[in-house]
Chains A and B, each alone.
Chain A
Amino acid sequence: MAKIGLFLARRLVKAAIILFFIVLINFALIRAAPGDPASVMAGEAGASDERYVELLRQRFGLDEPLHTQMFIYVTSVFQGDLGYSYRQGRNVSALILERLPATLLLTVTAFVFALAMGVLLGTLAAMKVGRWADTAITTLALISYATPLFWLGLMLILLFSVQLGWLPSFGFESVGAGFTGIDRMLDVAAHMVLPVLTLGLFYMAVYTRLTRSSILEIHDMDFVKTARSKGVTEGKVMVFHVLRNAILPVITFAGFQAGHLIGGSILVETVFAWPGIGRLAFNALLQRDYQVLLGVFVVTSILVLLFNIITDLLYTIVDPRIEVE
């Protein structure tokens, strides 16, 4: 346990350092934007309001030298202050926090779905390598891998909402239905089906391919022969020897993919009007509300950092070799 504590501490320090640099990039982006930073930050709506622009100028210390500006910005972000949206008339951090749960619900569900299905299909394909089941799964993965998310979302809406009328096509829940308890959960779940499928399918394809190739690689290894020479049944060989080892690169990769998944939620939330930070970002984009956009940028990066720590932790639990390194 002490080892895990140490590991966690080390990872947190590392994450804090990375976060620091991300905030720096954020600062650089504001400065790099063409035009007066204060007007840029104010966005299209706020730029006409002299007082607001002046407020921004003071807040960022835009009359101060560059390094002071940087210092002011970084400390304010680390204190949880992501700025103020003139459009929405609210603090950016409050805006984001409010929408975070919906995004987390969507991305985590999609991730679990993608991972579970991916590992399952990948295993199935590897076990039936060269046969029709393998061909079918590989083809499905290949197509899912090439399908643009937003388009897939639209097509699913077209099929399941418009044509078949089975599932709701937008929103988090039925507005005004006044569901409570189990009913509300079911309602939300029904709303989630299409967004989760849309977001998850691409990553499912990724994990399917990865699992399949990883299993095929492990399958030839000596320790699998050892297990066979002990007279272990094929099923047990697969689960306890092959799959357990084959899953490691999948976990590593899943960690890397976290950022992509959260980025993808911008598209999915836009298509399905899902009230999360992705949709917030899209609206901010339309309104040129850069304070919000950059806030989303910082927060999603933090999510990725947290997610990476979780996958690393998972890895240390699955792989006993990690602690010595």
Chain B
Amino acid sequence: MRTTAIMTRIFREMFRDKRTVALLFVAPLFILTLMYFFFNGEATDPKLGVVNVDESLIEILEEQDFQIEVYEQADRATVVSDNLDGMLEMKDGTYSLILQNSDPSSAKTLRLKVNQAIAAQMQTKLAGQLGINLNLTEIDIDTDYVYGDSESGYFEILGPILIGFFVFFFVFLIAGINLLKERTSGTLERIMTTPVRRWEFLTAYLAGYGVFAVIQTLIVVIYSVTVLDIVLEGSIWHVILINLLLALVALTIGTLLSTFASSEFQMVQFIPVVVIPQILFVGIIPLEWMAGWLQVLAKFMPVHYAANALKEVMYKGEGLSAISGDLLALSIFAVVFIILNLLSLRRYRRV
């Protein structure tokens, strides 16, 4: 009864504040869409200058989507002035390759591709000398994918991670600031002079913001699947369950930390301390690459478990059994923080 009264009030206040509603429900779609275009953009064809290179090699290179510029003579200055990604020269029977290397990782790929092209050209030449008709382009390995398909991009992994992160971030911030407002305006203290029990108060907050988290999850997932074409192999109910648990953790951390903030600005100061580190541990950087102590630290990041579970469900299509460990971890976080919240509310009323 009292719980529903407090919930009703939370809803009413929220929907009076149109900007916060927009932040909660529209901002994630905006960021997701931007991310989608960042990671799914078509790479431009590398520009390669060639000097004194055999016609057959140029053909192979062009087949590999190189943009070829033929020069009579060229040097390092040409690479800079014509903005070439690389320059391949045949001199005294050996190849030399000058790379611009302004982006080391794409330079590496370019070198690899050039090497492959040269090797391929040599093989064809050799085969021709031996009189074998070898058509290299026809060789194609039959590839099968356990998860996803040949179209799977990085965004397929990133999408589920982001969906979890949004719920965490927005619920943390909005619930934390809302409770802070109740503290500073004195309404929390005033509520505590009524016969409301502390658990009733906290339940209202959990349920109220839980509803927002579920709506946000639905909007984000439906948008991701229908508009952005993110795969959803598993059940949407499992996605909602994961996000609901994560929202409980975010809410309880937010409300607990609001105890240590005396203004909205101080609440925002928790973002770099509490929220940003979470995103480093969600699997955008594979955990196996991290130092041992960082891997231990990841165990204390709630978003890490949620992102993992979301990836299992959305990308790999796993069911409850595969994510039970993650769900358990999230539940433990939630229970611990709920207890801490109940204790912190004691200072408003000693019964």
Q: Do A and B bind each other?
A: no
Q: Which residues of A pack against B, CB within 8 Å? A: none
